[in-house]
Amino acid sequence: MPVIATNPILRGFNPDPSIVRVGDEYFVATSTFEWFPGVRLHRSRDLANWEVVGHALDESNGFDLRGVPDSGGVWAPSLTYVDGEFWLAYSVIRTMDGDNKDLDNYLVTAPDVSGPWSEPIHLGSRGFDFSFFHDTDGTHWIVGVAWDQRPEHPSFSGIVLEQYFHDRQRVSGEAVQIYSQPSLVEGPNLYHFDDGYHLLLAEGGTGWNHGITVARSHSLTGPYVRDAAPAVLTSRDDPGTPLQKAGHGELVALPGGGWALVHLASRPALRLGERYSTLGRETCIQRVVFDDEGWLRLEGGGHHGRVEVSFPELESAPVVKPPARDDFEGDALDLRRWSTLRSAADPAAFDLGSRPGWLRLRGGHSTASVFEQAMIAQRVEELDATVETLVDAEPTSVRQAAGLVAWYDRSAWIWLQLTWDAENGRHLRVVTRDRTTTRSEPYAVGPGPVGLRMSIAGGDLRCSATAADGAWRDLPGEYPAYALSDDHGGGLRFTGMFAGVRADDLDRQGWFADFDYVDAGFRGA
């Protein structure tokens, strides 16, 4: 039986895939933006079944994103393999206000995809979406987007190429523009085939107009001639095709000489006739061929991505995935599952030892903080989803709260929290943020641990809790899951919905909340 890959192959927030084949294994790196650890790494032997094998960036190589804005942080990694080592290039976006983008590009290397990864080598700050190209003559090149901050000039200043000297761990400092057009193109990747150099490009932004095109040249430094076809891959002309926002891709060779293209796409939820990508941008795969004139095309024709893709040259290799429920039985958080915001989970604040079998969260900064929030969260992977926990906490101040949260960024979240005030004592509220903060009426709870549940159905979210008799009770109200998407609120939004648990202690007096488990039914386990 041929291997059938069902798209998305990496479900939930996994954008900007970069793929490399080493022997009979395939590895994909995806963007993580403000989430920690940085650059999620996945492995497969059949392109259909994938497992998370770790991250490239954490406290071991000095990675820290405290202070970066929402949707800043790590953009568009580039994973390659050369001379027996994995190379990973990435951009860290530190500010992106007005005409400016303050950013740094780095390279880390490792003998194995599971690490250890090296200290970062700085590659300059010329632009973003840097990728590596290793030419057949042994030279190394970085190709990326150049940025112009002058307000009277277009911000997009072309695709530039610069040599990298690995023995000296530095770039040449001399970049040459190899491609430009009036509208923005990004995510560049270079390939050398028999007929010359092929430059794969993402265009149309990251939204509904996204797509992939290609340009070719007989010389590395150009000139590059763009494909006459409007796009190799796009969904911009058909809002009904299942994989929307298709774009930003990379090629990988298959056994026997074929090629595959990994790319990002989104599965939108419909609400009142509008589309919302609550899951963020996900990773998909397609088969590609070269036509009679040497241009890249989707196998089978057309430019819409397919949901099911066959790989008869590969053998099925299922992987064992972590269960949907985490009972916090280990001595460390499972970072294949959990992420934190901007910095590592300090064991003093994310405590698995004080109450065995429970996670003790010592309350951190507020939801507005770009520094130290006490929250762990994981990607929501399906449009219809549930997440549940049991929390044991005794708040005694309006500045203490803990519970279950659905999170997009600091401006968009839904939090079912156990808190306190003088009028109601210990109680539950649903607190939401959509540029402004709204609080529900209080819901009374009995003493002891309280079960909390969120149920997501497309663009809507409802909450439930356990009553004093232990039965689940639906709480009044329906909440806007659609607001937790790239497509709501305007501005630059590049991530996706996460769900998890958090605790706030705004007076920082050592208050804590204990969580017995988190059951994430959206993980499809």
Residues 6+ away with beta carbon under 8 Å from 335: 37, 54, 55, 58
447: exposed, middle or buried (Cβ count in 10 Å: 0-12, 13-18, 19+): exposed
Residues 6+ away with beta carbon under 8 Å from 140: 82, 132, 133, 134, 163, 164, 165, 166
Query: Active site includes 441?
Result: no
Task: Find how far residue 506's CA is from the centre of its chain.
Answer: 29
How many residues belong to the chain?
Answer: 525
> Distance between CA atoms of 38 and 17, rounded to whole angstroms?
14
> Distance between CA atoms of 311 and 46, rounded to whole angstroms?
8
3-state secondary structure of 469: coil
> What is the phi-psi region of residue 238: left when phi exceeds 0, alpha when psi lies from -120 to 50, beta otherwise?
beta
> What is the phi-psi region of residue 261: left when phi exceeds 0, alpha when psi lies from -120 to 50, beta otherwise?
beta
Q: Pick the catalytic residue: 162, 186, 326, 381?
A: 186
| C-alpha distances out from residue 129 to 13, 58, 93, 327, Å | 18, 20, 10, 38
Q: Pick the catalytic residue: 16, 34, 46, 409?
A: 16
> Distance between CA atoms of 488 and 292, rounded to whole angstroms?
43
Cis peptide bond N-terminal to 395, omega within 30: no
> Distance between CA atoms of 237 and 239, rounded to whole angstroms?
7
| Tokens 């009904």, located at residue | 240
3-state secondary structure of 356: coil
- The alpha helices in 343-494, defined as continuous H runs, are none
Residues 6+ away with beta carbon under 8 Å from 434: 411, 412, 480, 483, 488, 489
**Phi, psi torsion values for 483, nearest 5 degrees:** -70, -15
DSSP letters spanning 358-378:
SEEEEPBS-TT-SS--EEEEE
Residues 6+ away with beta carbon under 8 Å from 511: 362, 363, 395, 396, 397, 400, 503, 505
Query: Active site includes 384?
Result: no
For the annotated catalytic residues, the residue numbers are 16, 186
